[in-house]
């Protein structure tokens, strides 16, 4: 009878974490920046159909990096969660905090109990009536949940990106300034200029109606960089 190979729990967790981190680091990064009228979500994405940024509910948005099929399944699940909660209780009961907690529980469960962890990281963002009501949550591959102030990044060299964002961030900046900051931070990491049509950009804009989410086309990105 062959005895199973024993692997210490600490080593198993370490190996899973390294596996997930490698997969996430290969993904093109996404940055999130708060500006005077809302929040910008921005990332390099040459694909015109496989989107990494999306709307979840009235004032809640989602962004994911890593394996597309894994974070896309969670995005769809998040929409269903929000629709059910909003219908059963009320639209104001759908919050980024509740959704981020649900994602954190799912990713933590998969990381601990499944053979292969998800190779993804997520951002969940919500805006309120003013800049002070903005909520930005980062959910990591192992279910770790963090709330961020003003700006954040996932994918690529996220620590370097966050340092660049924090250095250039200022209270009350407009959308054009946020776009320039995000584009320059990502291009500094890659070392090359990204054409306007290869950016995926969207905002949660509190000046919109009930639905705050709005995508930005290449012309808006190009105009902001002139």
CATH number of 29-224: 3.60.20.10
Q: Which residues pair with 40 in a beta bridge?
A: 33, 203
Record the tokens describing residue 49, joined without a space: 């159909």
Exposed (0-12), middle (13-18) or buried (19+): which is 63, by Cβ within 10 Å? buried
Q: For residues 217 and 86, what is the distance between their CA atoms, to the nearest angstrom?
A: 30
68-88 pLDDT per residue, tens: 999 999 999 999 999 999 999
Q: 3 falls in which pLDDT band (50, 70, 90)?
A: low
- The pLDDT, as a whole number, for residue 9 is 76
What are the extents of the domains in the chain? 29-224
Going through 134-212 in order, the beta strands assigned E by DSSP cover 135-139, 145-148, 151-154, 199-205
7-25 pLDDT per residue, tens: 677 888 888 899 999 989 8
- The pLDDT, as a whole number, for residue 51 is 93
Query: Is pLDDT of 156 > 90?
Result: no
106-128 pLDDT per residue, tens: 999 999 988 899 999 999 999 99
Query: Is pLDDT of 1 > 60?
Result: no
The answer to whether residues 60 and 81 touch, using CB atoms and an 8 Å cutoff, is no
């Amino acid at each position: 009878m062959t005895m199973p190979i024993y692997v210490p729990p600490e080593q198993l967790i370490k190996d899973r974490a390294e596996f997930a981190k490698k997969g996430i680091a290969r993904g093109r990064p996404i940055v999130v920046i708060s500006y005077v009228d809302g929040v910008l979500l921005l990332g390099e994405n040459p694909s015109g159909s496989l989107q990494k940024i999306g709307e979840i509910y009235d004032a809640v948005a989602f962004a994911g990096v890593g394996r597309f099929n894994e974070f896309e399944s969670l995005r769809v699940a998040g929409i269903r969660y929000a629709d059910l909660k909003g219908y059963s209780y009320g639209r104001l009961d759908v919050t980024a905090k509740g959704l981020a907690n649900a994602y954190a529980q799912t990713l933590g469960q998969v990381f601990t109990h499944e053979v292969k962890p998800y190779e993804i990281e997520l951002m969940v963002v919500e805006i309120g009536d003013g800049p002070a009501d903005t909520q930005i949550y980062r959910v990591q591959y192992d279910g770790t949940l963090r709330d961020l102030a003003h700006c954040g990044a996932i994918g690529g060299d996220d620590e370097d990106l966050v340092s660049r964002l924090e250095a250039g961030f200022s209270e009350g900046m407009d959308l054009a300034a946020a776009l320039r900051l995000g584009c320059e931070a990502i291009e500094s990491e890659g070392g090359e200029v990204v054409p306007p049509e290869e950016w995926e950009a969207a905002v949660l804009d509190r000046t919109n109606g009930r639905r705050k989410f709005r995508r930005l086309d290449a012309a808006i990105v190009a105009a902001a960089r002139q």
